[in-house]
């Protein structure tokens, strides 16, 4: 059987400005984040439940924090401490993020969600490139639309 795997190269991630309406691309993106959702398990077992097995219902979804990596450009407006990712993390501001799947996927999908950057972890290895690992805490259900 032929594999149907799709290449991820070509994803684009954007972050809104403070108005939450204008978007700029996050340059040098190495991995694109998507909100991860998991529902709470609520035990609804009663004395009337059949047999000796617990019964469950799904509760609220928990959107766990996700991490993405960038080649860090300290002077880039998308990354810096005045307007970029580092600035947003330091100010604890909420932003809107858009992740667009590669154009080879038809129809193209755009995931849009609000969130806060909770960690900005740069590294400067002696035999490597400047990189940063960025942790993002989504808030609320993401919208998924065809572009």
HSE of 72 in the Cβ direction (CA atoms, 13 Å)? 20
pLDDT exceeds 80 at position 13: yes
Residue-level pLDDT at 106: 84
Q: Is 130 helix (H, G, I), strand (E, B) or coil?
A: coil
Average pLDDT over the chain reads 94
- Residue 32 near residue 68, CB atoms below 8 Å: yes
pTM of the model as a whole: 0.89
The full set of domains in the chain, from first to last, is 12-33+65-146 (2.30.110)
88-122 pLDDT, tens digit per residue, is: 999 999 999 999 999 888 888 999 999 999 999 99
Q: 40: which 2 tokens? A: 């709470």
Average the pLDDT over 58-74 and give the result.
Answer: 95
């Amino acid at each position: 059987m032929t594999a149907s795997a799709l290449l991820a190269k070509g994803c684009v991630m954007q972050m809104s400005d403070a108005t939450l309406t204008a978007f700029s691309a996050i340059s040098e993106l190495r991995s694109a984040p998507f909100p991860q959702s998991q529902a709470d398990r609520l035990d609804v077992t009663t004395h009337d439940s059949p047999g000796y097995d617990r019964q469950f219902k799904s509760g609220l979804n928990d959107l766990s924090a996700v991490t993405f990596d960038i080649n860090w450009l300290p002077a880039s407006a998308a990354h810096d401490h005045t307007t970029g990712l580092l600035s947003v993390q330091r100010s604890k501001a909420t932003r809107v993020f858009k992740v667009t799947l590669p154009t080879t996927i038809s129809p193209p999908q755009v995931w849009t969600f609000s969130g806060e950057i909770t960690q900005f972890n740069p590294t400067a290895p002696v035999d490597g490139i400047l990189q940063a690992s960025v942790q993002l805490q989504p808030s609320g259900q993401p919208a998924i639309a065809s572009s």
